[in-house]
Every structure is written in structure tokens, then in C-alpha cells.
Amino acid sequence: MKIAVMGYGTIGSGVVEVLEINKEKIAKRAGEPIEVKYVLDLREFPGTPIENKIVHDYKVIAEDPEIGIVVETMGGVEPAFTFVKAMLEAGKQVATSNKNLVAAKGAELIKVARDHGVNFQFEASVGGGIPIIRPLNKCLTADEIEEITGILNGTTNYMLTKMTEEGADFDEVLKDAQDKGYAEKDPTADIEGYDPCRKIAILTSLVAGQQVDFEDIHCEGITKITPEDIKYAKAMHRAIKLLASSRKVGDSYTCLVAPYMIDDTHPLSGVNGVFNGVFLRGNVLGDAMFYGSGAGKLPTASAVVADVVDMTKHQNTNIYIDWKPEKLTLVSYDDSVNSFFVRTDSPKSEVEAVFGHVDYIEDVVDGEYAFTTGDMTEKDFADKASKINVINRIRL
Amino acid sequence: MKIAVMGYGTIGSGVVEVLEINKEKIAKRAGEPIEVKYVLDLREFPGTPIENKIVHDYKVIAEDPEIGIVVETMGGVEPAFTFVKAMLEAGKQVATSNKNLVAAKGAELIKVARDHGVNFQFEASVGGGIPIIRPLNKCLTADEIEEITGILNGTTNYMLTKMTEEGADFDEVLKDAQDKGYAEKDPTADIEGYDPCRKIAILTSLVAGQQVDFEDIHCEGITKITPEDIKYAKAMHRAIKLLASSRKVGDSYTCLVAPYMIDDTHPLSGVNGVFNGVFLRGNVLGDAMFYGSGAGKLPTASAVVADVVDMTKHQNTNIYIDWKPEKLTLVSYDDSVNSFFVRTDSPKSEVEAVFGHVDYIEDVVDGEYAFTTGDMTEKDFADKASKINVINRIRL
């Protein structure tokens, strides 16, 4: 099997490395050796083992009948979409790690692949090395998935873990994460939750069997989390995690990306540092959780290569993926139901006049206290919260 | 697709129930409706929906050309083996939840299936509803698996969790587990570790690609764990778990079933109650963990039905499973390397004369103390331990 890798950045070079490190094991499992014939990149890599494999024009790959599988690790929607579509139309199978491409164009590319008798796979686009896409498609087929909730961003999870362990504030841990290479110079996509938002859109599309647009998902990042919030969380035996969550409600789903305070007994509460976790609940399976490295060169490349192995074994078979292009209308944000942790310095009488009976958490931070609500809609909460002075609020 | 269920006990009746509960979802994913035509059982079930499906002779199923898939949920090696083999030889695909059958005859039945162009699948035999067999075969194909360690028995995990939470002793929690139906009247297979021993034999066979006999695996249960051990564990920020573990050492594996004291930061430390967890380490993936219901009627049936869906989609394709009948010689127990927690009342001078430098844990239980060793072989430890008075010892 001769393959091409488009984009020789962190993940692309990782793919070449994993294919070399585990060459024999992979050949055995794929049923034949897998060889990288081309690497598409704008740059040259003189003096490296891929020096003679570099091409700058994707058409060289599309037009080479020897190439059976193409790996896309360029990132971004364009030109990745144009290139990937051309490869599928040329009868080549494609594996990608590109969440932006899959969230925006997944349903379309799955259809193009099916129309051309090839496969488009994207295990590495969510949860890095953690097997989650294939388990959803192939393993949890006896279940109705009622909830899928993930810690899907290693950068923010590292930052929240660090804030919890050291009592440090947001700016400090962001700088530390940047120094360690976990956060980008422009950390917006991570800290504002845009990255996990695309990932939960992909997972929800797979669970629902139709297109979920990430633009429709309400998304809050971790920029408003303070050391005081962490103190409350500890006092309440809870952990603050940035969750990307999707729950079935009737025939639709309610989706949200936001920080949550989860109980210490929740399977995701122990997912710390740069690790990711995906929790799901099936109507017959009950609770399950998948945990592992959500990012990083080799773990992510491991998932891409697993797709390559799978596609090598399925050269003339379309692996069915249930993700139709018709758009799913999510439950509106206003109608989404959550319960809330609220910090305030308003008199309790005011709080009770607005929220009725609540549970109090006191003596954690001077000059304020907190309370927790039962389930209520986001709109109801926002209306009520506007009538008292809210220092911060986090979903439970 | 018409199927037969052999054995209408807990899991078998669960399979019929899951097929009914999620009928439409399952038909969509399988590509066609799945209908139970026969249920093989010694008993009659008058007045139930399967009343007219009961047969007492497995040959009725084997000889019916309409039957494409047979589910085996009888348990035990015989007559399950005879029946399953006959079904495969008759060209029927088989899904089983039977760990005893798979551990003893897995390699042989995979070969019989391959010789007859059909599939033999056993997702439910390890970890109940948790997808682990298929992820190993289909997802982690880019990795060399260096370690696979599981909490694979819900009964003993429930008991250890209860001992930890309530400080109760072994006999009390066993009675409680029996009252709740988590433990059998004869709990030997669980509390002595025989059940997880078969499961780690299956997982190691899949990782190694050849037969691992469970009889070759040293197996210790939880009967010697006391409330005092739990006190030490808490003081050390550790949890006592019955682990079934397999680690790659050169070209072989070292396998062991025994209670371990694992650190609070280990992904398996949060696997509590009747839940199961499987931790693994790949040479490129790094650490990963799968968590969920390790037993129970519907979760286990969910995994069996997922096999049925997969086989319905692969009616004329053999799904390759790398598990050859040639027996793998494991690293001998004596040569296995572990580190140890040891409780003693011998003078420290004696301990240090034998073990050299050790770390002490004191003031946990009156009249004794404990220490931890570095890595050493089981033989070396046993020799040294015989020279002092050991109250209990647990691996780390």
C-alpha cells in the first residue's frame, strides 16, 4: 500500500514516524506493508528521510494510480477541503486529523467518499489518540446514546488542573501552558472553547446521524474561572472542568460547551492535565468512559495510522458512517436545562425571593457566599440571575 | 437476519430484550432487521414471548439454513464448545459472552470460523459492556501494546470499594454483595481471582497474537485484604484494587492477577463499585483507559448485540483476529518483577539487614508498621520476606 501525507507539521511528521517505529506490527495488521510515497508541503526538507518524497502540487498525488490512501494533516478548512475532495474523487481513501475540516465538511466528504466507493475516516479529529469515532460507529451499535460529554481540550484541562493544584490564577497558568508548548501564542481557540465546540459537533453528528453545525452550539470558555471558584469547588468536593456536552431531548439534542463543576465521583473528574476523556451513556449499556492522550504528535498520529490500517483492509468496501448532510435543529440555548452554582454578595432574602429554596455554601471566600439551584432553563436562570448581584456562576 | 440464542439465562434474555428495546436503531445500523427465531434452553418458558421459539436440540439451529448468526450465552466450556463448533462448521457466525469458553478455546474457534468463512466474536467476554476487544483489534492497530491492566471483576471491586468507604471487613462485605446479588452463593471464582484471570488471558492472547493459557497465570484473590490494609492505603493516598495485569517483557509477557495498591493519580484508581476499567499503554499512543459496566444483564447484552450487528454487516467477510493457537510461554512467576508494600512487626534493623534501604509508613496500626520496596523479582521478594515476620504484603 502506497500512501501520501498532506502537511508535514507535527501530526504529519508523527504519522511518518509511527509508520516507521511500528513498521512490522502495522504491516502484519494491515495485511501488507505501508509505504509513504509522497509528502505534500510548501516547504522543502533537505537532508531528511522525506527529502525525495516532497511534492508541492496535490495533483501529483491525485493523478498517481499507485496511491491508495492519502493522509490529511494540514489543518484548517481550505485548502484541505479542496485537496481531500479531489483525492476522494480520484478514488483514493482519506484519513484526516483535521477537526475544522470534519466539523465543517464531514457529511459532505462522507457522501463524496461513498459515491466513489472509498472511505473517509477521521478518528484523530476528536480526542487525539483515544479511540472514540470507531467505537461509536462500530461498537456501541446496540445502544441509543443518551448523553455524550467530553473533556476534549488538553490545553484548558491542563490549565484548570494547574489552577486546582496550585491555586494559581488564569493568567499565570496560561503563561505556563504557553511556555510548555501546550497553548498557542494565540490561545483563543482553546481558552474560548472553540476547539472542543467543533469536536462535540462532530460527536453529536455521529450520534444523531445528521449534521450538527458547531455555530449553533453555545460556547463558553474558561477565561472567567478564578482561584476563588476553585476554592468553592474543593469545598464542595467537585472539580471544575471545561465540558463539551450533548444530551438527547426528545428527537433532538441539547449541546453546550462550558465550564462545569462536576462531582468527585463522576468518571471525568479524574481526567487531569493534558489528558482527554469522553463519557457516554447508552440506554442499555449505561455509563462508559474513554480516557487518553487528547493531543500530542505520536498519540494523534497513532489514531491516523489506525485509520490507514483499517482502510488498507477495506480497499473495496465502504465502511458505513451514519452522518447525513441534513441539518439537525438543536434545542435552543434558552430552552436548555441545567443547574447552577452561583456566587453572590446579595442578601439571602433577595436570593430566596428570586430563586426560592436553594442550598448555600458559606465561609469559603470572605464577603460573599454561594448557592446551588435545581434544574432550570438557561433563560429562566438568566432572568432570575439579573435580579441579584452574581459574582460568577458555573453549571453543575 | 434470523438469529438463535443459546442459553436463556441473564445474558441470553438480556440479548432478546436489547434487540426489542432498540429494534429500529439496530436494524438501521445492521442494514436489516434482526429477528430471534430460536432460543435454545433446557427449560420451557410458557406464557412468555419466546414460548414458541424454544428448542431443546442445538441441531435444529445448526441445520436451519435460515439462521445466519448464533448467540452463545450458556456459560462454561461444555457443552458450549460442542454447540458453538457445530454452528461454525454449519456456516453460522457466532457471538459469545462466555469467558470460560473463549479463554479455553478461543484460538481454536477463531480458526474453525476462518476455515468456514464465518466470524467468531466475543466482545462481551471481557469487561461486559465496555468495548475493549474490538478496540484492540480495530483501533489500536498502530501501536505495540506494552501493558494492559484491568479491573475486570465487578464483584470484588464492589467489595473493595465498600471496605474502603465503610472500613468494613471482608466477611461483612461478602455477605452484603451476596445479599445484593453481586456475588454468587459460591463466590470462589470472583474472590479468588479466577474470573479476571480468564479475562486477562483473553486480552493478553489478543495483544500477543497467540494463545495464553490462564492456568499459567499466577492468581491471588482478595480474601487476605483486611481493614488495616485499607487504612494503610488511605494513609498512602492509594487505593487497593484487584488488578489483572499483563506487561510486555522482551518477546514475552509477564501476567499476574493480584490485589495492588495503586496511586490515587492512576486512571484505574477512580474505578469504583461494580464498574470495570481497562488501562493500556501503547508505545506511540501512551496511556489510555476504557471504563464502564463490567457486568449486568443489559450492558453485557449490549456488547453481544454489537457483535451481532457487526457480523450482520460482514456476512461474507472474515474479520481478522490475530490469535494463533501456538502457546505463548509467559515470564515465570518467580522472575516477574514487582514492588511491594509490606506490613511487619519485626525490628527495623532486621528489615534493613534483609531489604536494605526501604521507605517506612508508621503510626497507622498499633504494634506494627509498614515499608515499601523498590522493584524486585517475586522470588527475591519471597526469599527476603521469609526472613522477617510479614503480617501482609500487597504489590504496588
CATH of the domain at A84: 3.40.50.720
User: In this predicted structure, what is the pLDDT of residue B320?
Assistant: 85
Whether A156 is in a domain gets the answer yes
pLDDT at residue A268 in the model? 96
Q: Which of A13, A121, A126, A143 to mutate to test the interface with B (most CBs of B within 10 A)?
A: A143
Contact A320 B313 (CB under 8 A): yes
Q: How far is B366 from chain A (nearest CA, A)?
A: 31
Cβ A322–B22 below 8 Å, yes or no? no
Those residues of chain B that have pLDDT short of 50 are none
Look up residue B368 and give its amino acid.
Answer: E
Give the model's pLDDT for residue A218: 98
Q: Which chain B residue has the Cα nearest residue A123?
A: B139
Residues A248 and A309 in one domain: no
CB under 8 Å to B141, separation ≥6 — which residues? A26, A29, A30, A305, A306, A309, A310
- The CATH number of residue A140's host domain is 3.30.360.10
Query: pLDDT grade, residue A154 (50/70/90)?
Result: very high
Q: Tell me, what's the ipTM?
A: 0.93
A143 contact residues in B (CB cutoff 8 A): 22, 25, 302
Whether B268 and B362 share a structural domain: no
B199 is catalytic: yes
C-alpha cell at B119: 466470524
Are B377 and B336 spatial neighbours (Cβ–Cβ below 8 Å)? yes
pLDDT in tens, B115-174: 999 999 999 999 999 999 999 999 999 999 999 999 999 999 999 999 999 999 999 999
Count of the separate structural domains present in chain B: 3
Please provide the average confidence, as pLDDT, over all residues in chain B.
96
B163 and B286 belong to one structural domain: yes
Instruction: Note whether A254 and A267 are same-domain residues.
Output: yes
Residue A379 placed within a domain: yes
Residue B177 half-sphere exposure toward CB, CA atoms < 13 A: 28
**Percent of chain B residues topping a pLDDT of 90:** 95
User: CB B22 to CB A317 under 8 A?
Assistant: no
- Which residues of chain B lie closer than 8 angstroms to A21, CB-CB? 283-284
Alpha-carbon Rg of chain B, whole angstroms? 23
Residue A332 lies in a domain: no
Interface touch B299/A284, C-beta < 8 Å: yes
Q: Does A337 touch chain B (CB under 8 A)?
A: no
Indicate if the pLDDT at residue A82 is higher than 90. yes
pLDDT in tens, A251-275: 999 999 999 999 999 999 999 999 9
Contact B292 A289 (CB under 8 A): yes
Please tell me whether residues A201 and A257 are part of one structural domain: yes
A7 pLDDT higher than 90: yes
Are B199 and B275 members of one domain? Answer: yes
State the SS3 of chain A: CEEEEECCCHHHHHHHHHHHHCHHHHHHHHCCCCEEEEEECCCCCCCCCCHHHEECCHHHHHCCCCEEEEEECCCCCCCHHHHHHHHHHCCCEEEECCHHHHHHHHHHHHHHHHHCCCCEECHHHCCCCCCCHHHHHHHCCCCCEEEEEEECCHHHHHHHHHHHHHCCCHHHHHHHHHHCCCCCCCCHHHHCCHHHHHHHHHHHHHHHCEECCHHHCEECCCCCCCHHHHHHHHHCCEEEEEEEEEEEECCEEEEEEEEEEEECCCHHHHCCCCEEEEEEEECCCEEEEEEEECCCHHHHHHHHHHHHHHHHHCCCCCCCCCCEEEECCCCCCCCCEECEEEEECCCHHHHHHHHCCCEEECCCCCCCEEEECCCEEHHHHHHHHCCCCEEEEEEC
Judge whether A25 is closer than 8 Å to chain B, CB to CB.
yes
User: Is residue A58 located within the same domain as residue A189?
Assistant: no
Residues A186, A267 within the same domain: yes
A145, A210, A265, A289, best to mutate vs chain B, most B CBs in 10 Å: A289
**Average pLDDT estimate for A114-124:** 97
Residues A322, B144: C-beta atoms closer than 8 Å: no
Q: What is the pLDDT of residue A294?
A: 87
Q: Closest approach of chain B CAs to the CA of A290, in angstroms?
A: 5
User: Same structural domain for residues A277 and A143?
Assistant: yes
Q: Does B284 touch chain A (CB under 8 A)?
A: yes
Nearest to B202 by CA among B120, B270, B141: B120
Contacts of B285 in chain A (CB under 8 A): 129, 292-293, 298-299, 302-303
Does A273 lie in the same domain as A139?
yes
The CA distance from B303 to B15, in Å, is 9
A253 and A211 part of one domain:
yes
Q: What is the pLDDT of residue A295?
A: 85
The verdict on B323 and B382 lying in the same domain is: no
Domain, as residue range, for B352:
334-395
Would you say residue A202 lies in a domain? yes
One-letter identity of residue B116:
H
pLDDT at A318 over 90: no
